Amino acid sequence: MSTISSTTSRSAPVISIENLHFDYPDADIILRSRDSLEFRVLKIYIIHSSHILGEEMLISPNTLPSPTAIPAEPEVDGPTSANALQTVELPIDGAILFSLLSYVFPVPPVLPSTPEETMELLSVVQMYKMDVVLSQIRSHISEQNPSFIRKETAYLVYSLAQEYGLRTEALQAARCTLSSTFTIQELASEAKLDMMSGVALHELWKYHKSVRLNLTSDLEEFRMSGAHAILGDSSCVSLTDSGIPRWLDVYTSTLAHIPMGPDFIEFSMKLTEHIQSQSSEGNRRCSSCANIPHEVIRTFWDTLTATVENSIAKVRAQVTDVAVSGK
């Protein structure tokens, strides 16, 4: 048995990931999971972590149909005090409850091993209004490498966030999906349609549409005024009516179609292609774009990046609240 923290005093817990064992020697209550795993804990930690779990479920459990308080099973050779412990059944799987307790008690925190279980843990913590624990778990998740929400997991996390009403994760996952073209063909080829409900898919489609509309408008304004203010008067061989290099205008406008954010390497390649194409065509080299000061390029890039990020941030992913009831 792999033990995370061994008993060093009467108040120190013994916990093990392998068999989801959680035992306080001085426990005054037993929490029983939906799959019949039992966790011997101190009630005071529960009360301090959640008003709902602590006061409503543990102090007056009979006022709610679920969870319910039942007598603890007698122990043939165990101490008499153990027989008197109140047992509270919770509609939570043992793996989720074990992870939750690791954030409530002074032991090493343990995140679930799968995205599905992690999202269910977040939903349980949100349901019981454990705000401090919720912040701790989200902080722990943000430190993961590779990132918990990334291109490979974004659609799954978004679907689960919609199911559990987790607004923060839904918005983060929706933002991550912007790197895809969001076509039926792409979703079907990667089996993403199978993991999403029709409601979740529709909400994500509306999010993508709103982001693109917002970006089109904000980037248009940037190209018409902001860009020229940064670059100043240009002598590029091909200028738009607003007075900025045409290659730069085209590059900026394309950011609204696949809003994954500007890529400085791609931006640099477009500049190089513009300069080299003039020479290869026998025209005079565009010395104006070739000699743009580095500080001007940096200012332009920072402003463009901020414009895109702020434009996307204006659009909030809509989340359909779904009550989590014994899932």
Q: How confident is residue 35, by pLDDT bands cut at 50, 70 and 90?
A: very high
Helix pair angle (154-164, 198-221), 10° resolution: 110
**Domain parsing of the chain, residue ranges:** 3-108, 211-313
Taking the chain, what is the end-to-end CA distance rounded to the nearest angstrom? 29
Q: What is the average per-residue pLDDT within 2-21?
A: 59
pTM of the model: 0.76
Predicted confidence (pLDDT) per residue in 286-317, tens digit: 888 999 999 999 999 999 999 999 999 999 87
SS3 183: coil
Residue with tokens 């001085």: 26
Pick left, alpha or beta for residue 33 (phi over 0 → left; psi -120 to 50 → alpha; otherwise beta): beta
Element (H, E) at 39: strand 38-41
Q: What is the average per-residue pLDDT within 218-236?
A: 92
Q: Do residues 28 and 11 lie in contact, with contact meaning Cβ atoms separated by under 8 Å?
A: no
Q: What is the average per-residue pLDDT within 108-129?
A: 94
Q: What's the CATH architecture for 3-108? A: 2-Layer Sandwich (3.30)
Predicted confidence (pLDDT) per residue in 269-284, tens digit: 999 999 888 665 556 6
pLDDT value of residue 2 = 35
The closest alpha carbon to 177, from 213, 207, 144, 135, belongs to: 207
147-174 burial code (b ≥16 CB/10 A, e <16): ebbeeebbbbbbbbbbbbbbbebbbbbb
The closest alpha carbon to 168, from 149, 187, 182, belongs to: 149
Q: What is the average per-residue pLDDT within 152-158?
A: 91
Question: Which structure tokens are listed for 105?
Answer: 């008690």
Secondary structure (DSSP) of 137-173: HHHHHHT-SS-SSSTTTHHHHHHHHHHHT-HHHHHHH
- What's the full length of the chain, in residues? 327
